[in-house]
Amino acid sequence: MADNDSLDAPDYIARFDYQAGVDYVIAFNRLEGGNAPDSRVVMPPAFTIVTPANQQQVTDGETVIVSWTPTGAPARASLTYNADCTFVGGTHSYSGGALSDDANADGREPVSINPIVEFARSGTTSTLTRCSIDVIVSHELQGRIDPAYRTGTARGIVSRKVNLVYIPR
């Protein structure tokens, strides 16, 4: 496991060969604080983003339905984004953030384009020429941390992304 360089707390990340439904056991042998041999997490099943098509063009005022199969239930499904926007003259603006959770577990969520590009436009008077917007769908199952830790989380996450190309009207 490697330190994920978290700013607010120790945060470690590990990458394993992926197998859904398998109980992954993480055991720590620590010099201080005692050993913690029994943290566990299960990875959610694989899924595929169905809509929109990768690199689909979008513009002002549009709402895109992002859908995937299978839905991921009982895993928590959430959507986030990362945007790289280009302005006249070649300057860039980068933004990212949370979009929504699939609270009803139906495997589909609307994504409004305007709030994403409005955030990119904030603080500049330059004309926006295009944005590359990655929409990331993540399925997450909570695991169990060894009692020796007292606090913390173990999360099994499977993510997929689709890219949207924003062209202003």
Work out the end-to-end distance of the chain between its first and last CA atoms, rounded to an integer number of angstroms: 46
Q: What region does 46 belong to: left with phi over 0, alpha with psi -120 to 50, or beta?
A: beta
User: Looking at residue 148, what is its pLDDT?
Assistant: 82
**Domain boundaries in the chain?**
47-166
For the chain, the residue count is 169
User: Looking at residue 126, what is its pLDDT?
Assistant: 85
User: Looking at residue 10, what is its pLDDT?
Assistant: 62
> Which among 76, 78, 49, 51 has a CA at the least distance from the CA of 63?
51
> Which among 82, 83, 52, 77 has a CA at the least distance from the CA of 137?
77
**Is 107 within 8 Å of 69 (Cβ atoms)?**
yes
User: Looking at residue 21, what is its pLDDT?
Assistant: 87
Q: What is the pLDDT along the chain (169 residues), one digit of tens a residue?
A: 666 666 666 666 777 778 888 888 888 777 776 788 888 999 999 999 999 999 999 999 999 999 999 998 889 999 999 999 999 988 999 999 999 999 999 999 999 999 999 887 777 778 999 999 999 999 999 999 888 877 788 889 999 999 999 999 9
> Which among 99, 42, 102 has a CA at the least distance from the CA of 70?
102
User: Looking at residue 68, what is its pLDDT?
Assistant: 98
User: Looking at residue 2, what is its pLDDT?
Assistant: 62
For domain 47-166, give the CATH number.
Answer: 2.60.40
